[in-house]
Structure 1
């Protein structure tokens, strides 16, 4: 995958959120940790429609995790609207990514280079760089 130089890489799951920056070349990403924003999950109704039939019956969908995904999207929206970055790659587990997509602002969509639906939070930077290069 082509990851533009200085592009931000948002790494999220239902509990964690890390912002990285590509200081390497477009085909050879070298990531640097920029921030670990503390987002407040306030939109607990976010995931209600996200539940599948089985999840609704057995209560398997964690609304706190989905609310965290919505909060991450809101944080990224604010940064995109403020013009704080030009290019963005989002890496998130499939459920979080699905919830985040529901909250993308048009400015965020315009800056979005790619999305990867994998859980890579907690992985070393080298593994994340390899996942980007291989995507």
Structure 2
């Protein structure tokens, strides 16, 4: 996958967020960006049903974290801090993120990869983007 220069890459699971910026022209080259504090939420978005019929506390915490990440990314998009967004997330987390996207954030998405790559090296993440 071609990733625009300057694109923000968010790598997310139910507990962690890592942010990178693509600094490469022809190939993906990722530079780490500071990770913001994500507001802890007791569960997913208000008025939304959690991802399971009877979620346990861990599931609610993971869903709440995903919604917190979506809020931060939405805020950055709405404040014109993000032009292109690539999201790599564990499949369940990606589903929760999608529920929280603002329509402007959806418009800035240049790609999604449903895979848990948190804890992987920058090179492994870049390789996954190029294969997508």
- Same-fold status (TM-score > 0.5): yes
Instruction: State whether residues 18 and 37 of structure 1, in contact with CA within 8 Å, keep that contact through their aligned partners in structure 2.
Output: no
Give TM-score scaled by structure 2 length.
0.91
Cα shift readout 1:106-128 (whole Å, capped 9, x = no counterpart): 11011110110000001000000
How many Å separate the matches in 2 of 1:74 and 1:20?
Answer: 18
2:64 is aligned with 1:63: no
Give TM-score scaled by structure 1 length.
0.89
Give unpaired runs (5+ residues) of structure 1. Answer: none
Give unpaired runs (5+ residues) of structure 2. Answer: none
2:36 is aligned with 1:37: yes
Displacement of 1:24 in angstroms is: 0.6
Displacement of 1:98 in angstroms is: 0.2
Residue matched to 1:17: 17
Q: Which runs of 4+ in 1 moved over 4 A?
A: 58-61
Instruction: State whether residues 48 and 63 of structure 1, in contact with CA within 8 Å, keep that contact through their aligned partners in structure 2.
Output: no
Residue matched to 2:106: 109
Structural RMSD (CA): 1.8
